[in-house]
Amino acid sequence: MRRSKVLEERRKQVNPEVRDSVALSFRIVDRIHDILVEKGLKQKDLALRLGKSEAEISKWMRGTHNFTIDTLVSIEKALDSPIIQICHSQVYPAHEFEPIVAAEP
């Protein structure tokens, strides 16, 4: 994907303390942008589907918006595509799942 020079300059100016949060926000925006391109849609189309103004969507797409879970779910439904996929797998030792049995009196 071709990146905006303005966005790239903004990314460079981010305080290191908030870099991870902002980086995730930019990845979310990049994903939304990719979906719009894949589907031949514009931000205006997303605004219409969400019942939002074009200005609000444009603000979101600048990369500094703090998306709520509800907003992300609405965008996923409006675009019929996943935005964030979370996979968490951790193998726990079997003993962690052994039932606790109370001792008889």
Residue 67's identity, in one-letter code, is F
Q: Is the pLDDT score of 103 beyond 70?
A: no
pLDDT of 1: 52
Q: What is the pLDDT of residues 7-31, one digit of tens each?
A: 778 777 777 777 788 778 888 999 9
Rounded CA separation 36/70 (Å): 19
Q: pLDDT value at position 39?
A: 97
pLDDT tens figures, 43-97:
999 999 999 999 999 999 988 788 999 999 999 999 999 998 775 455 545 544 4
- Give the pLDDT confidence score for residue 5 in this predicted structure: 81
